[in-house]
Structure 1
Protein backbone atom coordinates (compact mmCIF):
# COMPACT_ATOMS: atom_id res chain seq x y z
CA UNK A 1 0.00 0.00 0.00
CA UNK A 2 1.35 3.40 -0.91
CA UNK A 3 1.12 6.33 1.44
CA UNK A 4 -1.10 8.23 -1.01
CA UNK A 5 -3.90 5.69 -0.51
CA UNK A 6 -3.79 5.53 3.29
CA UNK A 7 -6.99 6.72 4.98
CA UNK A 8 -7.58 7.45 8.67
CA UNK A 9 -10.71 7.92 10.77
CA UNK A 10 -10.52 9.91 14.01
CA UNK A 11 -12.96 9.37 16.89
CA UNK A 12 -12.78 12.22 19.40
CA UNK A 13 -15.65 13.92 21.23
CA UNK A 14 -13.77 17.15 22.02
CA UNK A 15 -13.76 19.29 18.84
CA UNK A 16 -10.67 21.29 19.82
CA UNK A 17 -8.62 18.15 20.42
CA UNK A 18 -9.94 16.53 17.24
CA UNK A 19 -8.93 19.60 15.24
CA UNK A 20 -5.47 19.65 16.86
CA UNK A 21 -4.94 15.98 15.99
CA UNK A 22 -6.03 16.53 12.38
CA UNK A 23 -3.67 19.49 12.03
CA UNK A 24 -0.75 17.59 13.56
CA UNK A 25 -1.30 14.58 11.31
CA UNK A 26 -1.51 16.75 8.20
CA UNK A 27 1.78 18.36 9.18
CA UNK A 28 3.61 15.09 9.98
CA UNK A 29 2.01 12.94 7.26
CA UNK A 30 0.78 15.17 4.40
CA UNK A 31 -0.22 12.20 2.23
CA UNK A 32 -2.55 10.77 4.88
CA UNK A 33 -6.22 11.21 4.00
CA UNK A 34 -8.49 12.00 6.97
CA UNK A 35 -11.74 10.27 6.02
CA UNK A 36 -13.72 11.82 8.83
CA UNK A 37 -14.02 12.70 12.51
CA UNK A 38 -16.57 10.79 14.61
CA UNK A 39 -17.84 12.63 17.67
CA UNK A 40 -18.64 9.57 19.82
CA UNK A 41 -18.07 5.83 20.04
CA UNK A 42 -21.32 4.85 18.35
CA UNK A 43 -20.53 7.05 15.34
CA UNK A 44 -16.98 5.67 15.28
CA UNK A 45 -18.26 2.13 14.83
CA UNK A 46 -20.81 3.15 12.20
CA UNK A 47 -18.37 5.21 10.16
CA UNK A 48 -15.51 2.72 10.44
CA UNK A 49 -17.70 -0.09 9.10
CA UNK A 50 -18.90 2.17 6.27
CA UNK A 51 -15.54 3.73 5.32
CA UNK A 52 -13.19 0.85 6.25
CA UNK A 53 -10.17 3.08 6.89
CA UNK A 54 -6.60 1.85 7.17
CA UNK A 55 -6.01 3.57 10.53
CA UNK A 56 -8.29 4.34 13.47
CA UNK A 57 -7.53 6.94 16.13
CA UNK A 58 -9.89 6.12 19.01
CA UNK A 59 -10.31 8.28 22.08
CA UNK A 60 -10.57 5.92 25.04
CA UNK A 61 -13.17 8.01 26.91
CA UNK A 62 -16.10 8.92 24.64
CA UNK A 63 -19.87 9.13 25.12
CA UNK A 64 -21.98 6.29 23.78
CA UNK A 65 -19.10 3.81 23.69
CA UNK A 66 -15.55 4.03 24.93
CA UNK A 67 -12.73 3.57 22.47
CA UNK A 68 -12.13 0.07 23.84
CA UNK A 69 -15.82 -0.84 23.44
CA UNK A 70 -15.82 0.55 19.90
CA UNK A 71 -12.72 -1.48 19.03
CA UNK A 72 -14.33 -4.59 20.49
CA UNK A 73 -17.50 -4.11 18.46
CA UNK A 74 -15.50 -3.51 15.29
CA UNK A 75 -13.43 -6.63 15.93
CA UNK A 76 -16.64 -8.63 16.20
CA UNK A 77 -18.39 -7.13 13.17
CA UNK A 78 -15.51 -6.46 10.77
CA UNK A 79 -16.18 -8.09 7.38
CA UNK A 80 -14.09 -11.10 6.45
CA UNK A 81 -11.50 -10.55 3.76
CA UNK A 82 -11.00 -6.84 4.56
CA UNK A 83 -7.81 -5.84 6.41
CA UNK A 84 -8.59 -4.60 9.91
CA UNK A 85 -7.40 -1.04 10.59
CA UNK A 86 -4.30 -0.25 12.57
CA UNK A 87 -5.57 1.14 15.86
CA UNK A 88 -4.17 4.05 17.87
CA UNK A 89 -5.82 4.76 21.22
CA UNK A 90 -5.82 8.34 22.47
CA UNK A 91 -5.89 8.74 26.25
CA UNK A 92 -5.46 11.43 28.88
CA UNK A 93 -4.50 9.41 31.93
CA UNK A 94 -5.36 5.72 31.59
CA UNK A 95 -2.22 4.17 33.13
CA UNK A 96 -3.67 0.68 32.88
CA UNK A 97 -4.07 1.12 29.14
CA UNK A 98 -0.58 2.55 28.76
CA UNK A 99 0.99 -0.48 30.43
CA UNK A 100 -1.01 -2.82 28.20
CA UNK A 101 -0.07 -0.94 25.03
CA UNK A 102 3.68 -0.81 25.66
CA UNK A 103 4.44 -3.95 23.62
CA UNK A 104 1.09 -4.57 21.96
CA UNK A 105 -0.44 -4.47 18.51
CA UNK A 106 -2.13 -1.11 18.94
CA UNK A 107 -0.30 2.11 19.64
CA UNK A 108 -1.33 4.95 21.92
CA UNK A 109 -0.83 8.69 22.23
CA UNK A 110 -1.39 10.91 25.25
CA UNK A 111 -3.55 14.02 25.42
CA UNK A 112 -2.61 16.72 24.70
CA UNK A 113 -0.94 15.08 21.72
CA UNK A 114 2.66 16.21 21.24
CA UNK A 115 4.23 16.33 17.80
CA UNK A 116 7.27 14.39 19.05
CA UNK A 117 5.19 11.46 20.30
CA UNK A 118 2.85 11.54 17.32
CA UNK A 119 5.85 11.49 14.97
CA UNK A 120 6.93 8.17 16.51
CA UNK A 121 3.41 6.82 16.09
CA UNK A 122 3.34 7.90 12.44
CA UNK A 123 6.64 6.11 11.82
CA UNK A 124 5.32 2.93 13.43
CA UNK A 125 2.12 3.09 11.38
CA UNK A 126 3.98 3.63 8.12
CA UNK A 127 6.26 0.69 8.86
CA UNK A 128 3.37 -1.62 9.69
CA UNK A 129 1.37 -0.54 6.64
CA UNK A 130 4.37 -1.53 4.54
CA UNK A 131 4.31 -5.05 5.96
CA UNK A 132 1.59 -6.20 3.62
CA UNK A 133 1.98 -9.89 4.43
CA UNK A 134 1.28 -9.19 8.11
CA UNK A 135 -1.75 -6.92 7.57
CA UNK A 136 -3.96 -9.97 7.26
CA UNK A 137 -3.08 -10.82 10.87
CA UNK A 138 -4.03 -7.40 12.23
CA UNK A 139 -7.50 -8.50 13.34
CA UNK A 140 -6.08 -11.46 15.27
CA UNK A 141 -3.57 -9.17 16.97
CA UNK A 142 -6.13 -6.60 18.05
CA UNK A 143 -8.46 -9.36 19.27
CA UNK A 144 -5.67 -10.78 21.44
CA UNK A 145 -4.92 -7.33 22.80
CA UNK A 146 -8.52 -6.45 23.55
CA UNK A 147 -8.84 -9.67 25.55
CA UNK A 148 -5.89 -8.56 27.66
CA UNK A 149 -7.53 -5.17 28.27
CA UNK A 150 -10.80 -6.56 29.65
CA UNK A 151 -10.61 -5.90 33.40
CA UNK A 152 -11.09 -8.94 35.65
CA UNK A 153 -14.08 -9.23 37.96
CA UNK A 154 -13.40 -7.60 41.32
CA UNK A 155 -11.98 -9.99 43.92
CA UNK A 156 -14.43 -11.07 46.59
CA UNK A 157 -17.52 -10.26 44.54
CA UNK A 158 -20.64 -12.05 45.81
CA UNK A 159 -22.17 -13.97 42.93
CA UNK A 160 -25.88 -13.92 42.29
CA UNK A 161 -27.89 -17.01 43.22
CA UNK A 162 -31.23 -15.72 41.93
CA UNK A 163 -32.39 -13.23 39.32
CA UNK A 164 -35.39 -11.08 40.31
CA UNK A 165 -37.41 -10.42 37.15
CA UNK A 166 -40.76 -8.69 36.76
CA UNK A 167 -43.39 -10.76 34.98
CA UNK A 168 -46.67 -8.84 34.80
CA UNK A 169 -47.52 -7.80 38.37
CA UNK A 170 -45.27 -10.48 39.88
CA UNK A 171 -41.58 -10.65 40.72
CA UNK A 172 -40.25 -13.98 39.58
CA UNK A 173 -37.23 -15.50 41.35
CA UNK A 174 -35.13 -17.30 38.72
CA UNK A 175 -32.32 -19.54 40.02
CA UNK A 176 -29.14 -18.51 38.22
CA UNK A 177 -28.31 -22.18 37.61
CA UNK A 178 -31.45 -22.46 35.45
CA UNK A 179 -30.47 -19.57 33.16
CA UNK A 180 -29.41 -20.67 29.68
CA UNK A 181 -28.05 -17.27 28.69
CA UNK A 182 -28.34 -13.52 29.20
CA UNK A 183 -28.86 -11.32 26.15
CA UNK A 184 -28.47 -7.53 26.05
CA UNK A 185 -31.41 -5.60 24.57
CA UNK A 186 -30.85 -1.84 24.69
CA UNK A 187 -31.02 -0.84 28.39
CA UNK A 188 -32.33 -4.22 29.52
CA UNK A 189 -31.13 -7.79 29.71
CA UNK A 190 -33.23 -10.72 28.54
CA UNK A 191 -32.93 -13.70 30.91
CA UNK A 192 -33.53 -16.89 28.94
CA UNK A 193 -34.35 -20.25 30.52
CA UNK A 194 -35.60 -23.44 28.88
CA UNK A 195 -39.24 -22.39 29.27
CA UNK A 196 -39.28 -18.61 29.66
CA UNK A 197 -37.79 -15.22 28.84
CA UNK A 198 -37.80 -12.27 31.26
CA UNK A 199 -36.45 -8.72 31.04
CA UNK A 200 -34.50 -7.18 33.90
CA UNK A 201 -33.74 -3.47 34.27
CA UNK A 202 -29.97 -3.59 34.19
CA UNK A 203 -27.20 -3.58 31.62
CA UNK A 204 -25.01 -6.54 30.76
CA UNK A 205 -21.99 -4.50 31.92
CA UNK A 206 -23.56 -4.12 35.38
CA UNK A 207 -24.64 -7.75 35.52
CA UNK A 208 -21.37 -9.40 34.47
CA UNK A 209 -19.37 -8.74 37.68
CA UNK A 210 -22.19 -10.36 39.69
CA UNK A 211 -21.93 -13.65 37.79
CA UNK A 212 -19.43 -16.45 38.41
CA UNK A 213 -17.13 -16.24 35.38
CA UNK A 214 -16.27 -19.92 35.79
CA UNK A 215 -19.89 -20.75 34.96
CA UNK A 216 -21.03 -17.82 32.82
CA UNK A 217 -18.97 -17.09 29.74
CA UNK A 218 -19.32 -14.01 27.60
CA UNK A 219 -19.37 -15.25 23.99
CA UNK A 220 -20.42 -12.02 22.30
CA UNK A 221 -20.61 -8.38 23.38
CA UNK A 222 -24.35 -8.90 23.97
CA UNK A 223 -24.46 -12.54 25.11
CA UNK A 224 -23.38 -14.37 28.27
CA UNK A 225 -24.01 -18.10 28.28
CA UNK A 226 -24.23 -20.70 31.04
CA UNK A 227 -21.23 -22.91 30.23
CA UNK A 228 -22.84 -25.84 32.05
CA UNK A 229 -25.60 -25.80 29.43
CA UNK A 230 -23.32 -25.82 26.36
CA UNK A 231 -23.66 -29.01 24.35
CA UNK A 232 -21.24 -28.21 21.50
CA UNK A 233 -19.47 -25.47 19.61
CA UNK A 234 -19.82 -25.71 15.83
CA UNK A 235 -17.79 -23.96 13.14
CA UNK A 236 -19.41 -23.59 9.71
CA UNK A 237 -17.72 -23.57 6.30
CA UNK A 238 -17.04 -19.83 6.51
CA UNK A 239 -15.35 -20.17 9.90
CA UNK A 240 -18.22 -18.68 11.93
CA UNK A 241 -18.57 -20.26 15.37
CA UNK A 242 -21.85 -20.95 17.16
CA UNK A 243 -22.78 -22.83 20.32
CA UNK A 244 -25.64 -25.26 20.88
CA UNK A 245 -27.30 -25.45 24.30
CA UNK A 246 -28.89 -28.55 25.81
CA UNK A 247 -32.66 -28.45 25.56
CA UNK A 248 -32.71 -25.33 23.38
CA UNK A 249 -33.17 -25.15 19.63
CA UNK A 250 -31.52 -21.80 18.87
CA UNK A 251 -27.77 -21.62 18.23
CA UNK A 252 -25.88 -18.61 19.60
CA UNK A 253 -23.12 -16.86 17.64
CA UNK A 254 -19.63 -16.59 19.14
CA UNK A 255 -17.65 -13.46 18.25
CA UNK A 256 -13.99 -13.45 17.27
CA UNK A 257 -13.09 -11.91 20.60
CA UNK A 258 -14.32 -14.94 22.55
CA UNK A 259 -13.62 -17.78 20.11
CA UNK A 260 -10.54 -18.75 22.16
CA UNK A 261 -12.89 -20.18 24.81
CA UNK A 262 -13.63 -23.07 22.46
CA UNK A 263 -10.15 -24.02 21.37
CA UNK A 264 -9.41 -27.72 21.72
CA UNK A 265 -7.76 -28.60 25.01
Structure 2
Protein backbone atom coordinates (compact mmCIF):
# COMPACT_ATOMS: atom_id res chain seq x y z
CA UNK A 1 0.00 0.00 0.00
CA UNK A 2 2.85 2.33 0.84
CA UNK A 3 4.55 1.53 -2.45
CA UNK A 4 1.38 2.36 -4.34
CA UNK A 5 1.11 5.78 -2.62
CA UNK A 6 4.77 6.65 -3.18
CA UNK A 7 4.64 6.07 -6.91
CA UNK A 8 2.29 8.92 -7.70
CA UNK A 9 4.34 11.21 -5.50
CA UNK A 10 7.48 10.22 -7.35
CA UNK A 11 5.85 10.86 -10.71
CA UNK A 12 4.55 14.20 -9.53
CA UNK A 13 7.98 15.15 -8.25
CA UNK A 14 9.56 14.11 -11.55
CA UNK A 15 7.04 16.11 -13.55
CA UNK A 16 7.61 19.17 -11.39
CA UNK A 17 11.35 18.86 -11.77
CA UNK A 18 11.09 18.57 -15.54
CA UNK A 19 8.71 21.51 -15.62
CA UNK A 20 11.13 23.56 -13.53
CA UNK A 21 14.01 22.69 -15.83
CA UNK A 22 11.96 23.55 -18.88
CA UNK A 23 10.82 26.79 -17.30
CA UNK A 24 14.39 27.72 -16.42
CA UNK A 25 15.58 26.81 -19.91
CA UNK A 26 12.83 28.86 -21.49
CA UNK A 27 13.58 31.79 -19.20
CA UNK A 28 17.26 31.77 -20.04
CA UNK A 29 16.45 31.43 -23.74
CA UNK A 30 14.11 34.41 -23.57
CA UNK A 31 16.69 36.45 -21.64
CA UNK A 32 19.45 35.62 -24.12
CA UNK A 33 17.22 36.57 -27.06
CA UNK A 34 16.44 39.92 -25.44
CA UNK A 35 20.12 40.58 -24.82
CA UNK A 36 21.02 39.75 -28.41
CA UNK A 37 18.21 41.89 -29.72
CA UNK A 38 19.32 44.80 -27.57
CA UNK A 39 22.88 44.42 -28.69
CA UNK A 40 21.88 44.39 -32.31
CA UNK A 41 19.78 47.48 -31.84
CA UNK A 42 22.61 49.29 -30.09
CA UNK A 43 25.09 48.30 -32.76
CA UNK A 44 22.76 49.47 -35.48
CA UNK A 45 22.13 52.69 -33.62
CA UNK A 46 25.87 53.29 -33.27
CA UNK A 47 26.39 52.59 -36.94
CA UNK A 48 23.61 55.00 -37.84
CA UNK A 49 25.09 57.69 -35.61
CA UNK A 50 28.56 57.08 -37.03
CA UNK A 51 27.20 57.18 -40.55
CA UNK A 52 25.28 60.37 -39.88
CA UNK A 53 28.30 62.02 -38.23
CA UNK A 54 30.53 60.99 -41.14
CA UNK A 55 28.03 62.34 -43.63
CA UNK A 56 27.78 65.64 -41.71
CA UNK A 57 31.57 65.94 -41.50
CA UNK A 58 31.86 65.18 -45.22
CA UNK A 59 29.27 67.83 -46.05
CA UNK A 60 30.98 70.37 -43.80
CA UNK A 61 34.42 69.59 -45.26
CA UNK A 62 33.08 69.82 -48.78
CA UNK A 63 31.39 73.12 -47.98
CA UNK A 64 34.58 74.51 -46.45
CA UNK A 65 36.65 73.40 -49.44
CA UNK A 66 34.10 74.89 -51.81
CA UNK A 67 34.04 78.19 -49.94
CA UNK A 68 37.85 78.23 -49.73
CA UNK A 69 38.14 77.50 -53.42
CA UNK A 70 35.66 80.25 -54.25
CA UNK A 71 37.45 82.72 -51.98
CA UNK A 72 40.86 81.86 -53.44
CA UNK A 73 39.52 82.15 -56.96
CA UNK A 74 38.01 85.54 -56.17
CA UNK A 75 41.22 86.85 -54.60
CA UNK A 76 43.29 85.50 -57.49
CA UNK A 77 40.98 87.17 -59.98
CA UNK A 78 41.23 90.46 -58.10
CA UNK A 79 45.04 90.21 -58.02
CA UNK A 80 45.10 89.43 -61.73
CA UNK A 81 42.92 92.44 -62.45
CA UNK A 82 45.19 94.60 -60.29
CA UNK A 83 48.32 93.39 -62.08
CA UNK A 84 46.71 93.71 -65.48
CA UNK A 85 45.73 97.32 -64.93
CA UNK A 86 48.65 99.44 -66.08
CA UNK A 87 49.10 102.87 -64.52
CA UNK A 88 48.80 105.70 -66.95
CA UNK A 89 51.84 108.00 -66.96
CA UNK A 90 51.45 111.57 -68.09
CA UNK A 91 54.21 112.72 -70.42
CA UNK A 92 55.59 116.07 -69.32
CA UNK A 93 57.41 118.48 -71.65
CA UNK A 94 58.01 121.89 -70.11
CA UNK A 95 59.93 125.08 -70.77
CA UNK A 96 62.53 125.72 -68.07
CA UNK A 97 62.03 129.48 -68.33
CA UNK A 98 58.25 129.55 -67.95
CA UNK A 99 57.18 126.48 -65.96
CA UNK A 100 55.87 126.80 -62.43
CA UNK A 101 56.74 124.80 -59.32
CA UNK A 102 53.79 122.43 -59.82
CA UNK A 103 54.98 121.56 -63.33
CA UNK A 104 58.58 121.01 -62.19
CA UNK A 105 57.35 118.72 -59.42
CA UNK A 106 55.90 116.36 -62.07
CA UNK A 107 59.39 115.60 -63.39
CA UNK A 108 61.08 112.38 -62.27
CA UNK A 109 63.20 112.94 -59.17
CA UNK A 110 62.01 116.55 -58.76
CA UNK A 111 59.96 117.21 -55.65
CA UNK A 112 58.60 120.41 -54.17
CA UNK A 113 61.99 121.36 -52.68
CA UNK A 114 63.94 120.99 -55.93
CA UNK A 115 61.15 122.72 -57.84
CA UNK A 116 61.60 125.76 -55.60
CA UNK A 117 65.39 125.58 -56.07
CA UNK A 118 64.96 125.60 -59.87
CA UNK A 119 62.76 128.68 -59.77
CA UNK A 120 65.11 130.43 -57.34
CA UNK A 121 68.09 129.76 -59.63
CA UNK A 122 66.11 130.94 -62.66
CA UNK A 123 65.19 134.20 -60.94
CA UNK A 124 68.76 134.83 -59.75
CA UNK A 125 70.38 134.16 -63.14
CA UNK A 126 67.75 135.62 -65.41
CA UNK A 127 66.63 132.29 -66.83
CA UNK A 128 68.22 129.18 -68.29
CA UNK A 129 70.28 129.50 -71.45
CA UNK A 130 70.16 125.75 -72.18
CA UNK A 131 68.81 122.60 -70.56
CA UNK A 132 72.24 121.49 -69.34
CA UNK A 133 72.38 124.56 -67.09
CA UNK A 134 69.80 122.96 -64.82
CA UNK A 135 72.62 120.82 -63.42
CA UNK A 136 73.93 124.01 -61.77
CA UNK A 137 70.87 123.99 -59.53
CA UNK A 138 71.67 122.75 -56.03
CA UNK A 139 70.55 119.13 -55.64
CA UNK A 140 70.39 118.32 -59.36
CA UNK A 141 73.24 116.30 -60.79
CA UNK A 142 73.93 114.24 -63.88
CA UNK A 143 71.71 111.39 -62.66
CA UNK A 144 68.56 113.47 -62.35
CA UNK A 145 69.39 115.37 -65.54
CA UNK A 146 69.62 112.07 -67.44
CA UNK A 147 66.11 111.19 -66.24
CA UNK A 148 64.50 114.53 -67.18
CA UNK A 149 66.45 115.80 -70.22
CA UNK A 150 63.82 114.43 -72.61
CA UNK A 151 61.08 116.27 -70.70
CA UNK A 152 62.55 119.79 -70.62
CA UNK A 153 63.51 122.38 -73.21
CA UNK A 154 64.68 125.96 -73.64
CA UNK A 155 63.56 128.12 -76.54
CA UNK A 156 66.55 129.21 -78.62
CA UNK A 157 69.22 127.66 -76.36
CA UNK A 158 72.60 129.37 -76.09
CA UNK A 159 75.90 127.53 -75.61
CA UNK A 160 79.13 129.33 -74.74
CA UNK A 161 81.16 126.69 -76.56
CA UNK A 162 79.84 127.92 -79.90
CA UNK A 163 81.22 131.42 -79.29
CA UNK A 164 84.48 130.14 -77.78
CA UNK A 165 85.36 127.66 -80.48
CA UNK A 166 84.32 129.68 -83.49
CA UNK A 167 87.49 131.85 -83.45
CA UNK A 168 89.64 128.79 -82.69
CA UNK A 169 88.33 127.04 -85.75
CA UNK A 170 89.39 129.95 -87.92
CA UNK A 171 92.82 129.95 -86.28
CA UNK A 172 93.23 126.21 -86.83
CA UNK A 173 92.26 126.55 -90.46
CA UNK A 174 94.80 129.34 -90.92
CA UNK A 175 97.46 127.30 -89.14
CA UNK A 176 96.74 124.28 -91.31
CA UNK A 177 96.98 126.44 -94.41
CA UNK A 178 100.35 127.82 -93.23
CA UNK A 179 101.66 124.33 -92.54
CA UNK A 180 100.49 123.18 -95.93
CA UNK A 181 102.42 126.00 -97.56
CA UNK A 182 105.65 125.07 -95.75
CA UNK A 183 107.72 122.36 -97.48
CA UNK A 184 108.17 119.08 -95.60
CA UNK A 185 111.84 118.32 -94.96
CA UNK A 186 113.26 114.90 -95.64
CA UNK A 187 115.95 113.22 -93.53
CA UNK A 188 118.58 113.92 -96.14
CA UNK A 189 117.66 117.59 -96.20
CA UNK A 190 117.53 117.94 -92.41
CA UNK A 191 120.70 115.94 -91.66
CA UNK A 192 122.75 116.23 -89.67
CA UNK A 193 120.24 116.72 -86.88
CA UNK A 194 121.60 118.24 -83.68
CA UNK A 195 120.32 116.01 -80.87
CA UNK A 196 121.01 118.82 -78.35
CA UNK A 197 118.60 121.29 -79.98
CA UNK A 198 116.22 119.30 -82.20
CA UNK A 199 112.55 119.07 -81.30
CA UNK A 200 110.49 115.89 -81.37
CA UNK A 201 109.36 116.41 -84.98
CA UNK A 202 112.96 116.68 -86.20
CA UNK A 203 114.10 113.67 -84.16
CA UNK A 204 111.24 111.60 -85.60
CA UNK A 205 112.84 111.99 -89.04
CA UNK A 206 115.60 109.64 -87.86
CA UNK A 207 115.35 105.91 -88.62
CA UNK A 208 113.56 103.79 -85.98
CA UNK A 209 112.70 106.88 -83.90
CA UNK A 210 109.01 107.27 -83.15
CA UNK A 211 107.33 109.88 -80.99
CA UNK A 212 107.91 107.93 -77.78
CA UNK A 213 111.65 107.54 -78.42
CA UNK A 214 111.96 111.19 -79.49
CA UNK A 215 110.38 112.29 -76.20
CA UNK A 216 112.78 110.00 -74.31
CA UNK A 217 115.77 111.69 -76.01
CA UNK A 218 114.45 115.14 -75.06
CA UNK A 219 113.72 114.03 -71.47
CA UNK A 220 117.24 112.62 -71.07
CA UNK A 221 118.66 115.84 -72.48
CA UNK A 222 116.66 117.98 -70.07
CA UNK A 223 117.63 115.90 -67.04
CA UNK A 224 121.33 115.40 -67.77
CA UNK A 225 122.29 118.43 -69.85
CA UNK A 226 123.47 118.28 -73.46
CA UNK A 227 124.90 115.18 -75.13
CA UNK A 228 128.70 115.20 -75.23
CA UNK A 229 128.78 112.66 -78.06
CA UNK A 230 126.28 110.75 -80.14
CA UNK A 231 127.08 107.43 -78.43
CA UNK A 232 125.42 108.72 -75.29
CA UNK A 233 122.16 107.92 -77.06
CA UNK A 234 122.75 104.37 -75.78
CA UNK A 235 121.95 105.70 -72.29
CA UNK A 236 118.48 106.84 -73.35
CA UNK A 237 115.68 104.54 -72.19
CA UNK A 238 114.08 102.71 -75.10
CA UNK A 239 116.98 103.31 -77.53
CA UNK A 240 118.76 100.10 -78.56
CA UNK A 241 122.24 99.65 -80.00
CA UNK A 242 120.67 98.85 -83.35
CA UNK A 243 118.76 102.15 -83.23
CA UNK A 244 121.97 104.06 -82.50
CA UNK A 245 123.82 102.35 -85.36
CA UNK A 246 120.99 103.34 -87.72
CA UNK A 247 121.01 107.04 -86.79
CA UNK A 248 124.72 107.78 -86.15
CA UNK A 249 125.26 109.02 -89.70
CA UNK A 250 122.37 111.53 -89.39
CA UNK A 251 123.00 113.15 -85.97
CA UNK A 252 125.48 115.47 -84.36
CA UNK A 253 126.10 117.16 -81.01
CA UNK A 254 127.53 120.43 -82.43
Determine which structure has more spread, i.e. the larger CA radius of gyration: 2
Q: Give TM-score scaled by structure 2 length.
A: 0.17
More helix by share: 2
More strand by share: 1
